[in-house]
């Protein structure tokens, strides 16, 4: 059962046959494939090795995709070991593509679902090799029954994880700078079937930023109303709830299957978040509309709301963020507490959480400055000035008189911080790993190593 891909970087010429074989075998069309060929050191820094990596799903021992999927759309084939995505169960939330550090799940925008390599399970059950392996002309890509301790895949550009990826990688032999017979390296940006964009972009993820912020506002408003310190009308709550549900469904490829997001409570933070949000909205609406005097019902609803916010923070732990979500100034759980204190007029709590957020925000930006990452001073000024300093000053002058203004300023500041959070998130992916490893190798002095004389075959190609 422990089937594995075996990839020998000494033999891969970057001919792309494996990618094409995958497209043809799985009827994906010429521009789509579940396998792709990427290149380490694509511009051929002369003192560093250049090689290709043929990448697809590694059918990991601990598949992050399967654990993350809220809809239980993944399963493992007990006979072949393949991690299979059942597309008819997928809701198109794309969370598995965030969770997989190997960029294996590919979103099919025409059908609104995710798709990925099946290990050619249909061929395996017939005793055949995967199509990519069968068509590789140099024998670089192989397939074998490999025991756990024999799996080696530590190579620059291949993210090191605890997932147990079932791909054995044979690195370039000592002293070799390019694979034998290597074709001219293709610029990865223009290669067909290139790796999907590995950034989380605010332009595409803004519904999530708005959804999580609005959820914090609703939870805080209900908490303050439960303390009798805020007037929350049922119509305002129901309108806000409809808005956040609409925002959440904007993100789904298959919104009519959204109920499936409740199915993986045991393992998926996204599933837990969706379940807690559903319970929060249902109980809060019931309390406001039909049982306005029932504080126990309101308290349970607030508890579920806070749980939803904490789960929402944990959803992002599969990504590379500038800090853990709960110790990030944009944590929606802390935003919920902050806003509840502001809505209810509880000065000491609002002051303490606000100061904590200020400290986390400034600390992060100083870290960015030291690490050479963009600081965006104008945005920082907006976040701190409008969201923390102005409300603090107004509170000091007359909190009752300026209450609406304080609330508006704090909400605006939290929205800016949340938006920045999404801008700073990064997916872990081979293409990004290659850039990171290349920069590290150059910084370590790889550029000062002796450069071997070019092989005659390579000189001819160049």
Told to check if 425 binds ligand SF4 by CB under 6 A, we report: no
Told to check if 55 binds ligand SF4 by CB under 6 A, we report: no
Among 63, 130, 157, 171, binds ligand SF4 (CB under 6 A): 63
Q: Is 349 exposed, middle or buried (0-12, 13-18, 19+ CB in 10 A)?
A: middle
User: Residues 276, 308: contact at Cβ < 8 Å?
Assistant: yes
Told to check if 59 binds ligand SF4 by CB under 6 A, we report: yes
The β-bridge partners of 36 are: 55
CA gap 9, 170 in Å, rounded: 6
Query: Using CA of residue 431, residue 437, residue 439, residue 441, what is the dihedral sign?
Result: negative
The closest of 119, 120, 80, 116 to 100, measured between CA atoms, is 116
Told to check if 83 binds ligand SF4 by CB under 6 A, we report: yes
Told to check if 69 binds ligand SF4 by CB under 6 A, we report: yes
Told to check if 269 binds ligand SF4 by CB under 6 A, we report: no
Among 95, 269, 338, 422, binds ligand SF4 (CB under 6 A): 95
Token pair listed for 185: 């390296």
User: Residues 178, 451: contact at Cβ < 8 Å?
Assistant: no
Pick the closer one to ligand SF4 by CB: 91 or 223: 91
Told to check if 384 binds ligand SF4 by CB under 6 A, we report: no
CA gap 211, 201 in Å, rounded: 15
Among 17, 20, 114, 135, binds ligand SF4 (CB under 6 A): 114
Pick the closer one to ligand SF4 by CB: 287 or 431: 431
Pick the closer one to ligand SF4 by CB: 182 or 275: 275
Told to check if 71 binds ligand SF4 by CB under 6 A, we report: yes
CA gap 331, 327 in Å, rounded: 7
Stretch that binds ligand SF4, among 25-33, 64-72, 413-421, 426-434 (CB under 6 A): 64-72
Pick the closer one to ligand SF4 by CB: 86 or 398: 86
Residues numbered 125-184 forming contacts with ligand SF4, rule: CB under 6 A: 163, 165
Shortest Cβ 247–ligand SF4 spacing (Å)? 17
Pick the closer one to ligand SF4 by CB: 95 or 177: 95
Told to check if 7 binds ligand SF4 by CB under 6 A, we report: no
Shortest Cβ 165–ligand SF4 spacing (Å)? 6
Among 11, 19, 36, 116, binds ligand SF4 (CB under 6 A): 116
Integer angstrom CA distances of residue 203 from 107, 177, 208, 247, 321: 17, 40, 11, 14, 18
CA gap 142, 129 in Å, rounded: 9
- Helix then strand then coil, % of the chain, to nearest 5: 50, 10, 40
How many C-alpha atoms does 169 have within 13 Å on its Cβ side?
20
Shortest Cβ 309–ligand SF4 spacing (Å)? 21
DSSP 250-296: HT-S-GGGGGGGGTTTTT-HHHHHHHHHHHHHHHHHHHHHT-TT-HH
Among 22, 82, 96, 218, binds ligand SF4 (CB under 6 A): 96
Residue 390 belongs to what H/E stretch? Answer: helix 390-397
Stretch that binds ligand SF4, among 14-22, 58-66, 216-224, 406-414 (CB under 6 A): 58-66
Pick the closer one to ligand SF4 by CB: 262 or 299: 262
Told to check if 223 binds ligand SF4 by CB under 6 A, we report: no
Q: Where on the chain is the footprint of ligand SF4 (CB under 6 A)?
A: 57-60, 63-65, 68-69, 71, 73, 83, 85, 90-96, 100, 102, 104-105, 114, 116, 163, 165
């Amino acid at each position: 059962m422990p089937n594995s891909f075996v990839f020998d970087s000494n033999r891969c010429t970057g001919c792309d046959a494996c990618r094409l074989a995958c497209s043809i075998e799985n009827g994906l069309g010429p521009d789509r494939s579940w396998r792709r060929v990427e290149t380490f050191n694509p511009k051929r820094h002369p003192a560093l090795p250049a090689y290709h990596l043929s990448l697809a799903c590694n059918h990991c021992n601990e598949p992050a995709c399967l654990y993350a999927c809220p809809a239980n759309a993944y399963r493992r084939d007990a006979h072949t070991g393949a991690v299979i995505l059942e597309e008819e169960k997928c809701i198109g939330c794309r969370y598995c593509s965030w969770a997989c550090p190997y960029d294996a799940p590919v979103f099919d925008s025409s059908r609104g679902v995710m798709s990925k390599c099946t290990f050619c399970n249909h061929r395996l059950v017939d005793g055949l090799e995967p199509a990519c392996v069968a068509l590789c002309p140099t024998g670089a890509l192989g397939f074998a029954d490999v025991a756990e301790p024999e799996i080696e895949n530590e190579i620059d550009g291949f993210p090191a994880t605890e997932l147990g990826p079932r791909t054995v990688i044979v690195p370039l032999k000592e002293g070799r700078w390019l694979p034998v017979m290597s074709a001219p390296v293709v610029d990865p940006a223009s290669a067909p079937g290139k790796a999907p964009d590995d950034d989380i972009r605010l332009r595409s993820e803004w519904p999530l930023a708005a959804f999580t912020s609005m959820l914090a506002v609703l939870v805080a408003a209900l908490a303050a109303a439960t303390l009798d310190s805020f007037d929350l009308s049922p119509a305002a709550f129901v309108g806000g709830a409809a808005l956040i549900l609409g925002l959440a469904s904007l993100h789904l490829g298959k919104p009519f299957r959204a109920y499936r997001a409740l199915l993986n409570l045991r393992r998926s933070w996204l599933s837990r978040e969706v379940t807690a949000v559903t319970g929060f909205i249902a109980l809060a609406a019931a309390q406001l509309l039909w049982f306005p005097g029932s504080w126990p019902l309101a308290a349970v609803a607030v508890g579920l709301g806070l749980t939803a916010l904490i789960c929402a923070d944990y959803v992002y732990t599969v990504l590379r963020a500038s800090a853990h979500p709960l110790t990030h100034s944009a944590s929606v759980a802390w935003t919920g507490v902050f806003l509840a204190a502001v809505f209810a007029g509880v000065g000491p709590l609002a002051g303490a959480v606000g100061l904590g957020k200020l400290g986390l925000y400034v600390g992060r930006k100083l870290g960015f400055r030291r690490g050479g990452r963009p600081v965006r001073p104008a945005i920082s000024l907006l976040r701190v000035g409008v969201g923390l300093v102005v409300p603090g000053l107004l509170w000091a002058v007359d909190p009752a008189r300026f209450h609406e203004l304080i609330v508006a300023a704090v909400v605006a500041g939290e929205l800016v911080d949340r938006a920045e959070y999404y801008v700073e998130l990064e997916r872990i992916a081979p293409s990004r790993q290659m850039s990171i490893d290349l920069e590290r190798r150059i910084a370590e002095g790889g550029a000062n190593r002796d450069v071997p004389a070019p092989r005659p075959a390579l000189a001819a190609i160049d």
